[in-house]
């Protein structure tokens, strides 16, 4: 294709005017815009700024062109220059065959730099693609037609276009090899891919050829966003890895510090324990030494006391002790009218006011006084009694003094005991119900031999006999009365037991007094009390303590009393056999009663569904086992037959194996 120089009459001012009259959005839509824009971007330097070339704009009056307009017209001017030079070079060879353009140097072996381009000889006209030919006599227009602006086609590249290609080796493209002089192909074709298809420049070029602009292709934007996201993800991963590494390092450091602290704490603890153990050992050694010293001191004191309070040998004083030096008594010279060592010790203690009263309240001192009294006998008691008698009511209930009071009552004569009882008459009932006082009162009952003493004790206890029966300590005083006083003197206790049988018999301590009354009463008293027990059998049998009273009557061995109790139990035997306490009475009654009594009881045990109930009951099964053990002959056979009739119940019961074992025994 040849272009004459006459057609290139569009001046630079006309081009600028075209720029002024054509909106940028229309220029962007034309095909010429893309070619000019590509040339402008890929040429080094980008030419002279549009503001400097435009004669129609001034820096004082006109507004500066936008960067897009500058780029468009900078590339457009270069295109016009290249077209003008190419037209001048090919004007003399219109009729000749177009020469093949020289090969374009490759990316890897760039050609030598070319000389700068010369200015165009004449103004260049734009090349119109598929535009109608203008008549020869048509007036020349200074400005190009706006309607044809979008049909501008880039010229074929001349040889000097290689200079621009050589100046862009970093794009890796070859322009001249893609142009055809004969067919006037576009100046820029898709370049040969000399890089990776995902290279950013390659993606930008593809986006531009598809009409999205150099940076506007969705794929390119997506790829860029994806690359940016990948970079951000990689950076985040690195940051997270660094944070994890730092956290791991901190955790390791913390673990080391904690282990170190624990080790130090363990060392401190071990040292403390060792120190404490050493202190404990030292303290234990000190305590052992002190204890040994105290034991030695006590041994010395005991030896001295034994020497002072040892009982003198009466035969040695007469001169006929057959044991000699092996005698267990002291061989002191006891002359008539002279004092022995215990008496001398008592006189020494009595000379000190309050000394004996002080010793009587001390465990060791009280024991010493008892030994002195036992060794000295009545003379010693005569010395001790005036100092003890005023304190006797208080000493009776003292934890240590009560032992001295008991020793005094043992050694005292009846007149002295009576005097002491009268002195303590108002405190006898109170002392009888105390933990320590009851021992002194029991000693009074045991040592009382005269009518005056017995009457005084009866008068002191008869008004509170029920309270004494139910007292944990007073009941022992009444048991001593029943065991030591003869019948007429203890009748008041038997009478109280008979009168208050239900109340006393169902008491934890009162039931013991009832049993002692049955033991020590006369036959008439025992019969009367047993009859009262039989009348109250049902009430006593269900009681945790009263059942022992009924069993005690059954254990007396009297068949008549056992049959009477069985007769009282027979109407309610089915219910009583399943009770915790009454079942024991039923078992004892089966053992103690006669053949007729057992028959009456068994009639109530096997009637109806009672037998099945007893088989499954936790207490009733023992009644069945006892019945199988004590019954003989036809009565046992009848019971076994009744049990076999409910064999299924025996197998289902958790107590069935025991019952079957008794059946087969």
Kindly provide the b/e burial profile for residues 433-463, where b requires at least 16 CB atoms within 10 angstroms of the residue's own CB: bbebbbbbbbbbbebbeeeebbebbbebbee
Kindly provide the b/e burial profile for residues 303-313, where b requires at least 16 CB atoms within 10 angstroms of the residue's own CB: eebeebbbbbb
Please check the confidence at residue 363 and state whether its pLDDT lies above 50: yes
Inter-residue contact 562 to 594 (CB < 8 Å) = yes
Average pLDDT (396-416) is 91
Cα dist from 107 to 93, 169, 173, 562, whole Å: 31, 6, 7, 136
The whole-angstrom separation of Cα 200 and Cα 207 is 11
Please check the confidence at residue 618 and state whether its pLDDT lies above 70: yes
* pLDDT over 70, % of the chain: 61
Q: What is the pTM of this model?
A: 0.49
pLDDT digits (tens, 9 = 90+) for 634-653: 889 999 989 888 888 888 88
Please check the confidence at residue 142 and state whether its pLDDT lies above 50: no
At 365 the pLDDT is 84
pLDDT digits (tens, 9 = 90+) for 233-253: 999 999 999 999 999 999 999
The whole-angstrom separation of Cα 45 and Cα 65 is 18
Kindly provide the b/e burial profile for residues 66-101, where b requires at least 16 CB atoms within 10 angstroms of the residue's own CB: eeebbbbbbbbbbbbbbbbbbbbebeeeeeeeeeeb
User: What is the three-class DSSP state of 279?
Assistant: helix
pLDDT digits (tens, 9 = 90+) for 162-211: 444 444 444 344 444 444 343 444 444 444 444 455 555 555 555 555 55
pLDDT digits (tens, 9 = 90+) for 102-123: 444 433 444 444 444 444 444 4
Inter-residue contact 378 to 412 (CB < 8 Å) = no
442, two tokens? 């029991």
């Amino acid at each position: 294709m040849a272009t004459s120089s006459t057609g290139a009459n569009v001046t630079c001012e006309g081009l600028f005017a075209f720029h002024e009259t054509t909106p940028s959005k229309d220029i962007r839509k034309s095909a010429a815009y893309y070619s000019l824009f590509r040339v402008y971007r890929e040429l080094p330097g980008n030419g002279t700024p549009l503001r400097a070339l435009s004669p129609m704009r001034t820096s004082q009056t006109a507004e500066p062109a936008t960067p897009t307009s500058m780029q468009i017209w900078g590339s457009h001017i270069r295109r016009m220059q290249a077209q003008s030079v190419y037209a001048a070079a090919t004007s003399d060879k219109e009729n000749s065959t177009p020469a093949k353009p020289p090969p374009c140097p490759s990316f890897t072996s760039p050609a030598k730099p070319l000389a700068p381009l010369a200015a165009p000889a004449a103004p260049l006209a734009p090349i119109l693609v598929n535009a109608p030919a203008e008549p020869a006599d048509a007036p020349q227009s200074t400005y190009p037609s706006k309607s044809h602006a979008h049909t501008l086609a880039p010229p074929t590249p001349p040889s000097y276009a290689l200079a621009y290609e050589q100046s862009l080796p970093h794009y890796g493209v070859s322009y001249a090899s893609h142009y055809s002089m004969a067919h006037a192909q576009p100046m820029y074709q898709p370049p040969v891919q000399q890089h990776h298809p995902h290279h950013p420049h390659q993606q930008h070029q593809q986006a531009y050829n598809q009409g999205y602009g150099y940076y506007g292709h969705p794929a390119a934007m997506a790829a860029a966003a994806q690359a940016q996201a990948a970079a951000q993800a990689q950076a985040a991963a690195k940051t997270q890895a660094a944070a994890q590494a730092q956290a791991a390092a901190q955790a390791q450091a913390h673990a080391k510090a904690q282990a170190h602290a624990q080790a130090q704490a363990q060392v401190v603890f071990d040292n403390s324990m060792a120190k404490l153990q050493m202190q404990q050992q030292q303290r234990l050694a000190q305590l052992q030494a002190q204890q040994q010293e105290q034991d030695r001191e006590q041994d010395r004191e005991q030896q001295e006391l034994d020497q002072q309070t040892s009982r003198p040998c009466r035969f040695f004083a007469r001169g006929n002790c057959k044991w000699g030096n092996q005698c267990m008594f002291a061989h002191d010279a006891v002359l008539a009218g002279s004092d022995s060592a215990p008496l001398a010790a008592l006189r020494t203690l009595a000379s000190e006011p309050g000394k004996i009263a002080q010793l009587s309240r001390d465990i060791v001192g009280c024991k010493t006084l008892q030994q002195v009294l036992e060794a000295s006998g009545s003379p010693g008691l005569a010395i001790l009694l005036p100092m003890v008698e005023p304190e006797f009511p208080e000493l009776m209930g003292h934890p240590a003094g009560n032992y001295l009071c008991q020793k005094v009552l043992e050694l005292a004569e009846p007149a002295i005991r009576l005097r002491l009882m009268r002195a303590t008459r108002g405190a006898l009932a109170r002392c009888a119900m105390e933990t320590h006082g009851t021992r002194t009162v029991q000693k009074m009952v045991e040592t009382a031999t005269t009518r005056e003493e017995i009457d005084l004790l009866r008068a002191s206890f008869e008004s509170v006999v029920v309270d004494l029966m139910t007292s944990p300590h007073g009941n022992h005083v009444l048991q001593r009365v029943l065991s030591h006083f003869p019948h007429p003197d203890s009748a008041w206790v038997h009478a109280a037991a008979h009168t208050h049988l239900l109340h006393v018999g169902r008491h934890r301590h009162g039931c013991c007094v009832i049993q002692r009354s049955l033991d020590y009463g006369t036959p008439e008293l025992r019969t009367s009390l047993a009859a009262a027990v039989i009348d109250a059998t049902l009430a006593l049998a269900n009681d945790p303590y009263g059942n022992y009273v009924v069993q005690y009557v059954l254990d007396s061995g009297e068949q008549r009393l056992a049959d009477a109790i069985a007769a009282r139990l027979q109407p309610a035997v089915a219910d009583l056999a399943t009770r915790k306490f009454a079942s024991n009475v039923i078992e004892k009654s089966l053992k103690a009663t006669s053949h007729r009594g057992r028959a009456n009881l068994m009639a109530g045990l096997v009637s109806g569904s009672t037998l099945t109930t007893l088989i499954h009951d936790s207490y009733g099964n023992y009644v069945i086992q006892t019945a199988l053990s004590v019954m003989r002959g036809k009565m046992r056979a009848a019971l076994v037959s009744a049990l076999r009739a409910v064999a299924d119940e025996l197998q289902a019961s958790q107590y069935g194996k025991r019952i079957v074992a008794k059946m087969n025994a």
